[in-house]
Amino acid sequence: MLLAIDIGNSDITLGLWVNENWLHHWRIPSKPDQPEIYYGVKIREFFLESTVSLNTVQTVVISSVVPSLNEKIKGVIRTLFQQEPIVVGPKIYDDLPITVLNPYEIGSDLVANAMGAFVKYKQTCIVVDFGTALTFTTISGEGKILGVSIVPGLRTALKALTQNAAKLFDVPLEIPKSALGTNTVTAIQSGIVIGYEGLVRKMVEAIRTELGIECPAIATGGLSFVITPLSSFFYAIDPSLTLDGLRYIAKAVKPDS
């Protein structure tokens, strides 16, 4: 049994891999000001509610883009599971079958995405991750991370807009019926959601043009469901890609996991 933990800027996503399947997915809001015990109680409750014994977890692998949470979560793992977690970072990259671009700069979540795409899709592809940031990670069929593009995520863009414009307010991230907004809600939805559809298409097109191949685009991340007109544009919508990447990383570092 393997526990994969993806510590993101908005949420901590946990996945429990059992018998060749993600048996459970859990989320905890990322709150760096909370003490270690807060996260320990949350994770213990998840296992209790799912009637899964903590002792059955053989391997824990962590990716984090929130440094202030790293020691807290590692402390929780030591306390609950009596083991040291595998932490995705430059120290383990030489053990992976992929070549990591700028190991000390690239986010570990992007490395996990690249690893997941490399193992699952076995060809040059672009991973589009709809999270706090909207990221485009391109990995070759030979396993080399070729480059990354980063823009603010949908919710981040919406938050920036509403916090910096006195008369604007938060709205649901939904596709409006028309690009012609007729009130504040539909105007913001049009600009953000339809606008981001165009952004994604243009970025993927630019990457494909530079590579000279029509490589597939894979969508992942918590907001990958929002821009529904892109559903047919993507080769696959794979919400568990990051967790799968963490699982493959753990297998490469610890083959018996």
Q: Name the active-site residue from 109, 129, 238, 244.
A: 109
How many C-beta neighbours within 10 Å does residue 79 have? 14
Residue 14 backbone dihedrals phi, psi, to 5 degrees: -120, 140
Question: Is there a catalytic annotation at residue 6?
Answer: no
Residues annotated as catalytic are: 109
